[in-house]
Structure 1
Amino acid sequence: MQAIIFANRTGDELAPLNDHYCPARLPVGNKAVIEYTLEDIAKSGITQIKLIISSQAREIEKLLCNGEKWGLEIEYFLSKPQEETRSVLKRLALDPDESLLLVRGDIFRSPSISQFIDFSKAFPRDFVQAKMESQNAGMMLLPAALPYLADIDWPFLPHFDSTSVVTLVLHGRSFMLDSFHSYMDANLCLAKNELPTLTPSERSYLSANAQQDFYVGTKTHTGDLTSQNGWGIIGNNCRIEEKVQLKESVVIGNNCLIDKESSIENSLILPNTYVGERLEVKNSILCQDLLINLQHLGVIQIKDQALIGANEINAKPEGNKTSTLTRLFLLIIFILSLPLWPLLSVYSSLRNTFNKQSEHSTISDTCIDNLGQTFKAWRWNIPGPISARLPQIYHVLTGRLDLFGDTPEARYATGKDDRRLGVLGPVQLLLDKSAPKEERQLLELEFDADNRASKYLHLLWRALRSQPQTITASHLL
């Protein structure tokens, strides 16, 4: 038996937190949600995994690699965001008679997969619907479940059949992660040791509360925890400065700095976050510069780095990675192209003068460079995507952008702090400006998944052969 894990939720219910984490990557007790599902599957004896991903695909692959950590073999497949299960399975071309476990890897539940599989084997011809806390537990077994595939699509629909199927009620807790409260509850329940068979992996330390402990990661400085009235989980490489008060349930992610005399109460601090001196945080989720108040469900982006912000431990991307030899070659091309600039400028002006849409002869892109700085970069408004971007080569030579990389346009750079941004890329060369955001994201994912050494040459050849056009999802998948 093999398992197909669906981790293709976009997490729009958690906006703007989903700019930083898609649901499968959300940290619960300093471990991503998808990791709990993989651990649960590994305990069931299954080793072959097909992982369906969409948002933040590169980050998920970087986190999980080939699955060796869990004794698994993971094969990755790209899908449209929240694509229907039936459509995904059709493209996988699986044996219709093969026993397959389908499971959502972007909800958080108590370990239960082994129990579900063992129970389902006793009813090989019946669809076994799994429930946990009267909710859809997000798992099913094929081929018996084929007529009910829609029950595992996200968002879950409340139409469980109670007459023609077998229902298994699983013990434990289940969190849909479809609201800030659901996500917060998942973390706090783990911190309180309220989840059956799940215990924080960090080392246990006594607190002033006789019934609850702290769980602290490696290379973390906390001071004397026995005087703290709170309890919870503190990740790796953290620093809790002097006179910090930790009250009630607290979960602090990896690489966090809590400055002196601040107060954290019943809150979740996500990885790589700085909490400023004398700041009081209560019933909130903090993620770098985002403050989410759970009482009022208000979301505030803090501009003052002295209050909250990205911790410096979360290093910025390095400078330009385009090689010196390539940059020298580009410098020669840039200089040789200068005599053509007046001709291109005249051509662009004449073309757009007679254009019915009355567009400008040049286009100014708002860009974010590899160090996170916003700037303007212009290009000609002409059909050829490569020649139109000749002026932007200047930014490669100065180190602001790479030659090849993701589109540097600000509105598509959100949540891509560790991605390389470039002048040339699949979105820049193969799509026009009218292409929807979803198609841009899918095209980038497809290009990321291409491991051919010649993929950049192939990209340039495709750009030279045809004019920019809108590529639909059917072309990508």
Structure 2
Amino acid sequence: MLLTIGEYYRLADDTLKNADRYILPGYSSEPDCFLGRNVVIQKGAEIRKPVMIGNNVQISAGSIIGPGAIIGSNIIIDRESVVSGSILMDNTFIGEQLEVKGRIADGSLLIDPESGATLQLEDPHLMSVIQPGASTKQIIRRLIHALAALALLIVLALPFLVLRPLLGLRRNWHTKKRLFPPGATAKKITIEQVVIRPEGADGRLAIALSIDRYPSLFKVLGGKLRLIGHRPAVSSDTSTISSGCIAMNPAVFGYAETEEWPENERDELMVDHYHLLHSGSLNDIGLLLKALLNKKHM
């Protein structure tokens, strides 16, 4: 019988280091490396054995996992973070550039297994609990997004029919196909984005009314895009969208467009990750209205 958190930590560490004595969960063609299902390890992330990684885990670029790391299920590890000699309990988010060494992390709680001391992190951008997604909630959220997209399609139909031909005549309507790297679906998605330059009254009005987003609204009805979520940042000299996003499907409007302060892609990803973890269906609609009123995306 385990009496202390320290004994639990030492037993888990001993099990990982002496894996040949036990039948451990996971699949791997390499010794001392045990992986669950739906594990997404982005390019640039490093895995140092021995490690054990559960199901539905997202490890972002630049992160170092191991040695001696036990990662639970439903985990997100953000960019350039280090997890070694530690246990991450299920449903834990590890923020960007965070070091977790010789600790037990459970949601926003960080535990020293030797002393038993605990630290509650108040900043959800550092560590927080990932609420397990229920299929019913996901269906409701998708339905609400679709209904809101339908409403926008109706409201913006006339402005689109008037402005689209004018922009075409002025050669101010450009489409670019972008490849969105594996995220929550673990599949690559090709999306098409419209680019309108803020030139002339028609160009500025089209951007103010989000006419450039109008064609994408149909994909929300088909379930291929979310109405609001992560709007990928696109480099002007490449057709591949930055892979800094994790566990997020592309959307017509971005959570980052609701805020004024993000100055670069990293700031935008921070906002996107925060709302991904903490936003709900009804809150999404409020954030959508804020994004529509916010002229930052102009």
Relative to the length of structure 1, the TM-score reads 0.32
**Which is higher, the Rg of structure 1 or of structure 2?**
1
Q: Please give the TM-score of this superposition, normalised by the length of structure 2.
A: 0.47
Comparing both chains, which one has the higher relative contact order based on Cα–Cα distances under 8 Å and sequence gaps of 6 or more?
2
